[in-house]
Amino acid sequence: MASLQHSPSLHQTWLSNASTQVDFMPRLGMYRNSTFQRGISFLVRAEQISTAPTSTHQDRPGRRQLLAMWTTLAPWILLSDQKYASFAAESRKGFLAVMDKKDGYSFLYPFGWQEVAIEGQDKVFKDVIEPLESVSVNMIPTSKQDIRDLGSPQEVAETLIKKVLAPPSQKTKLVEAKEHDEDGKAYYTFEFIAQAPNYTRHALSTICIGNGRFYTLTTGANERRWGKMKDKLQTVVDSFRIVNV
């Protein structure tokens, strides 16, 4: 594993002290045993994909029978979980799909980004050359049933940006916050800018409540590359879906 220490990633900006955590969690209906962490180093996971050698031998009868059986059964297997099949059908060129059936969410991320391991985050993918270009998914338990129970999109976005998504030392600006519905679930999506002394990150987040959890997906890029990346990042945010598990 290759360690990327002290990278200026937004994923290193979780809450660092108990007093702020206790003050923030009741606003979002979060349980007190939920934790956020800031300043966490992350590890690039070197995924090695092995390709099976191609056989030059003719298929044996047993293999032909298995192939015939798969041809018959495959449509039924794929259709047995339509909520994920429909998401896969929406995958776009240049993106790869993540479908987490255990935790009940799915999204797309740009082809070429690598998965990295960050303590406290459920999924993180990032560009290994541009450290600010990344997407992360975080989940914490909540007693709330609907994102609208927390307040307006603007109110919730401001709280998350100031308390969770950016450290107190950064100057932040909420650009836009809005609500939309997907499959009967309400989502808040917002755009914001976080300015540090040596860089500025332009980011998009979407949040939703389901399965007794508060889900947050955040993606972004360096401000200097925002014009080039914004359409891709918008695709990432728009693809995020929560399903019942």
Domains and CATH numbers, the chain: 95-242 (3.40.1000.10)
* Rounded Cα–Cα distance for residues 33 and 164 (Å): 16
The string of pLDDT tens digits covering residues 132-160 is: 999 999 999 999 999 999 999 999 999 99
Note the pTM of the prediction, 2 decimals: 0.70
Q: What is the mean pLDDT of residues 41-51?
A: 29
If pLDDT is split at 50, 70 and 90, which confidence band does 25 have?
low
* Rounded Cα–Cα distance for residues 192 and 216 (Å): 14
Q: How far is CA 4 from CA 19, 167, 217, in A?
A: 29, 20, 22
Helices (H) and strands (E) in the chain, counts: 5, 12
3-state secondary structure of 15: coil
The string of pLDDT tens digits covering residues 181-231 is: 999 999 999 999 999 999 999 999 999 999 999 999 999 999 999 999 999
* Through-space distance between the first and last CA atoms of the chain, rounded to whole angstroms: 33
* Rounded Cα–Cα distance for residues 62 and 67 (Å): 9
- Which is nearest to 8 in space by CA: 126, 119, 160? 126
- Which is nearest to 1 in space by CA: 118, 136, 96? 118
Q: What is the pLDDT of residue 154?
A: 98
* Rounded Cα–Cα distance for residues 201 and 92 (Å): 25
If pLDDT is split at 50, 70 and 90, which confidence band does 26 have?
low
